[in-house]
Amino acid sequence: MGELVVPIDVVGLGADGAPGVSEAARSALLAADVVIGSERQLALLPDDVGAERVALPRPLLPGLGDLLDGADGRRIVVLASGDPSWHGIGSTLVRLVGPGAVRTHPAPSTLSLACARLGWPAEHVTTVSLLTGPAASIIAALQPGRHLLVLLAAAADLPGVADLLCRNGFGASALTLLADLGAHDETVRTGTARMPPMPTGRLTAVAIDCAAEPGATWWPSGPGLPDEAFEHDGQLTKRDLRASALARLAPAPGQLLWDVGAGAGSVGIEWMRHGPTCRTIAVERHAERAERLGRNASRLGVPGLQVVVGPAPDVLTGLDRPDAVFVGGGATSAGLLDACWAALAPGGRLVVHAVTAESEAALVGQRSTRGGELVRIGVEHLEPLGGFSGWRPARAVTQWAVTR
């Protein structure tokens, strides 16, 4: 970055524009040499703000960094909608220049305004942003009784959201369209997913009171989804083994998992369903399985899962460094476990499954060298046996789990 006057002021604007900002924010605007914002936001500034007005670049990155580099030490104000630190440009700026170089002046967020209109407790509301992502992101949050607030890029996106709810068995959900909250002409319209309100306004969100229809299939957010949740050709880490693996992989906010030899992608998908900032890179050598994996990810609400097609360990080079690695098979592949271990930073977790005697022997050798926990997991299911019932064992799996 070039020379910057510290800090950059980030001013949140409500739908009412400049009249609603704080005195500190107004002082920053009047002292600014450059004001950066969207065309809509810049048009809301009063005439007494004499700074040069610069539209935000598209795409935002790296154009924003270039703008700041060219500021030549001038005082900069960046405009945002509502609270800049809530799904806004404030967080982007902090990543670019560091928290010490950003001073934020928030206006009420869409979340706080929506909860004020609906009487919802903000701490019990799950938010999903479709400003830069697909509507499928909503699916991971669909559970009966949950309050969702979905940020829309445009009011015209509402019918697509309503259709998604209906296709996933939540057509009975109550919808409230909230547009231009805080403005004198704000709009609040109600309906259901099957009979949605008419789209209107610019700054738009939809509040969803989730209600599942009889017979609807929905998935919990915890690990161990039923096997039928996934499309697969038999290459699937089964439910009980998956739950065990995820317990040891220990997903955490903002962390990245490599799911190597991903098959149907069940472990990587459930890692991402743990939280909206969890990321997965799924590595699968077979193109057909990789396509199926992508469909599973989208259908289960994590369309941002990254799929890399090719053989491991060859394609692991150059990938973002993982916080955890799961290897569902291939423990005997030359160099694979060594490459996965080398990729992990201290504190990183590695979990490997083996079903053959040869791969189990490889894990015994790995444990003797690197430590960790080695367990054999056997699962039996009760099935009909003549006129009675009997236990049918599945193939036992050896699991090696280790923290670097």
Question: Hey, where are the domains in the chain?
Answer: 8-107, 111-209, 227-403
103-137 pLDDT, tens digit each: 999 999 999 999 999 999 999 999 999 988 899 99
What CA–CA distance (Å, rounded) separates 204 from 53?
A: 25
**Token pair of 326, please?**
């799961």
Task: Write down the pLDDT at residue 15.
Answer: 83
Instruction: Work out the burial of residue 122: count CB atoms within 10 Å of its CB; fewer than 13 is exposed, 13-18 middle, 19 or more buried.
Output: middle
Task: Write down the pLDDT at residue 239.
Answer: 96
Residue 2 has pLDDT above 90, yes or no: no
Q: Which helix (H) or strand (E) holds 376?
A: strand 373-377
The percentage of the chain sitting over the pLDDT mark of 90, rounded to a whole number, equals: 82
What is the CATH architecture assignment of 227-403? 3-Layer(aba) Sandwich (3.40)
Residue 5 has pLDDT above 80, yes or no: no
Task: Write down the pLDDT at residue 110.
Answer: 94
- Binned at pLDDT 50, 70 and 90, residue 184 comes out as confident
Query: DSSP class of residue 321?
Result: P
Determine the 3-state secondary structure of 225 from DSSP. coil
263-298 pLDDT, tens digit each: 999 999 999 999 999 999 999 999 999 999 999 999
**What mean pLDDT comes out for the span 147-152?**
97
Average pLDDT in the chain = 93
Amino acid at residue number 128: V
206-245 pLDDT, tens digit each: 999 999 999 998 998 888 999 999 999 999 999 999 999 9
Name the CATH superfamily, with its identifier, for domain 8-107.
Tetrapyrrole methylase, N-terminal domain (3.40.1010.10)
The percentage of the chain sitting over the pLDDT mark of 70, rounded to a whole number, equals: 98
Task: Write down the pLDDT at residue 247.
Answer: 97
What CA–CA distance (Å, rounded) separates 218 from 99?
A: 39
Task: Write down the pLDDT at residue 6.
Answer: 60
Contact 176, 190 (CB under 8 A): yes
24-79 pLDDT, tens digit each: 999 999 999 999 999 999 999 999 999 999 999 888 888 888 888 877 778 999 99
Name the CATH superfamily, with its identifier, for domain 111-209.
Tetrapyrrole methylase, C-terminal domain (3.30.950.10)
Higher pLDDT, 351 or 87: 351
The whole-model pTM stands at: 0.90
The maximal CA–CA distance of the chain, rounded, in angstroms, is 88
Task: Write down the pLDDT at residue 1.
Answer: 53
How many Cα atoms are found within 13 Å in the side-chain-facing hemisphere of 146?
19
Residue 199 has pLDDT above 70, yes or no: yes
